[in-house]
Amino acid sequence: NRRIVLASRPVGAPTSDNFRLETLAKPEPKQGEVLLRTIYLSLDPYMRGRMSDAKSYAEPVALGEVMIGGTVCQVEVSNHPDFAVGEWVLAYNVGWQSYAVSGAEGLLKLGANPSHPSYALGVMGMPGFTAYMGLLDIGAPKAGETIVVAAATGPVGATVGQIGKLKGARVVGIAGGADKCRHAVEVLGFDACIDHKSADFAAELAAACPDGIDVYFENVGGAVFDTVIPLLNTSARIPVCGLISQYNATELPAGPDRLSLLMGLILTKRIKVQGFIIFDDYGHRYGEFEQDMSQWLAEGKIQYREQIEQGLENAPEQLIGLLEGKNFGKLVIQVNQP
Ligand code: NDP
């Protein structure tokens, strides 16, 4: 059994020294337990938060403990009456390791032969659910309104934009680089997508939003949010989903402090700004999402791009890259072959 543990806490961007690969004996399941073989490990931005011991909505990973993460596994040995050998499950108690023993609790059954098992980590799982609830419940877009979303080709942003189009909105993405922007327009069907690394980013975003912005789905914060602010319409909604541009920050942005200007704008334009943590706030509504998203996928109305990288040992480097925008699509590590 191979596993990756948190060796030290990062200051700023994580480095490979913050992780340690360990090799142990394969664990043996007791009565009422199963041995899980990890096929896919999801890498997600929230993992940066769990590496830090700053106070947050969730406990940090302890030093020396296995890194946390969602996995799609197959049952290799079953000592539990409800699980058959070969069956697929979604697990949140396995993390960055090639095998793990688990009780039945916390395992979500995916069936004997799912057509796309890794989708449970992306478009049919946590990121897709995040996009669906944040956009529809907090953003509440109406037909003809303008939605802006950054990290537009990632699993959250791509899903936000495509649901926005299904609801009749104009959708403008923001992404890093020409390839990602082209994908957003040509494959995902966004009306426009602007490169936040472009020298003319602010002017290009303004030109792509001639009627202003009604829903800004906040995934990144920082300079992108600064550019969005002047374009916000009266009664705009901002679901605050993530602030990835700040996850590696060690200090507040340089002054002057613009908080009072922002609060003034929120007041005069009656802007709704609401954060959410997907399973804490919306866990009870997973069924609605599952039903709609399965149907949209079956009808070909939602496109989904994954970046599948081979080998558990490459997970640290891939997570470091995710926080710098190096991934293109939902980042998944293939840990074992099915
Ligand atoms: P992505 O796969 O989209 O990966 C992150 C992307 O963020 C990168 O590819 C990059 O895209 C962009 N990015 C990284 N650094 C910067 C930067 N400095 N400035 C601008 N963009 C940057 O991630 P997800 O779709 O999984 O997650 C998107 C957001 O949603 C994250 O903030 C995450 O924390 C949040 N989230 C929140 C949840 C909640 O419950 N509130 C649940 C799930 C996710 P590009 O190259 O295009 O800029």
Please name each of the domains of the chain with its CATH number. Answer: 2-121+305-334 (3.90.180.10), 126-280 (3.40.50.720)
Which among 156, 179, 183 is the best mutation to test ligand 1's pocket, defined by most ligand atoms within 8 Å of the CB? Answer: 156
Which among 193, 220, 240 is the best mutation to test ligand 1's pocket, defined by most ligand atoms within 8 Å of the CB? Answer: 220
Measured CA to CA, the distance from residue 13 to residue 197 in angstroms comes to 20
Going along 232-281, which residue ranges are E strands?
232-240, 272-275
Q: Locate tokens 């009422």: which residue?
A: 32
170-175 and 146-150 beta bridge pairing: parallel
CB-based contact 187:303 (threshold 8 Å): yes
Could you tell me the distance, in angstroms and rounded to a whole number, from the CA of residue 250 to the centre of ligand 1?
18
Going along 241-299, which residue ranges are E strands?
272-275
**183 C-beta closer than 6 A to ligand 1:** no
Q: Is the ipTM of this complex over 0.95?
A: yes
Tokens of 286: 């997973």
Q: Could you tell me which residues come within 8 angstroms of residue 231 by beta carbon, excluding any fewer than 6 positions away? A: 148, 205, 206, 209, 212, 213
Could you tell me the distance, in angstroms and rounded to a whole number, from the CA of residue 77 to the centre of ligand 1?
36
**42 C-beta closer than 6 A to ligand 1:** no
CB-based contact 166:226 (threshold 8 Å): no
pLDDT in tens, the chain (338 residues): 999 999 999 999 999 999 999 999 999 999 999 999 999 999 999 999 999 999 999 999 999 999 999 999 999 999 999 999 999 999 999 999 999 999 999 899 999 999 999 999 999 999 999 999 999 999 999 999 999 999 999 999 999 999 999 999 999 999 999 999 999 999 999 999 999 999 999 999 999 999 999 999 999 999 999 999 999 999 999 999 999 999 999 999 888 999 999 999 999 999 999 999 999 999 999 999 999 999 999 999 999 999 999 999 999 999 999 999 999 999 999 999 99
| Closest by Cα among 168, 97, 163, 132 to 279 | 132
**278 C-beta closer than 6 A to ligand 1:** yes
Could you tell me the distance, in angstroms and rounded to a whole number, from the CA of residue 154 to the centre of ligand 1?
7
* Identity of residue 11: V
**157 C-beta closer than 6 A to ligand 1:** yes
Could you tell me the distance, in angstroms and rounded to a whole number, from the CA of residue 48 to the centre of ligand 1?
11
CB-based contact 157:134 (threshold 8 Å): no
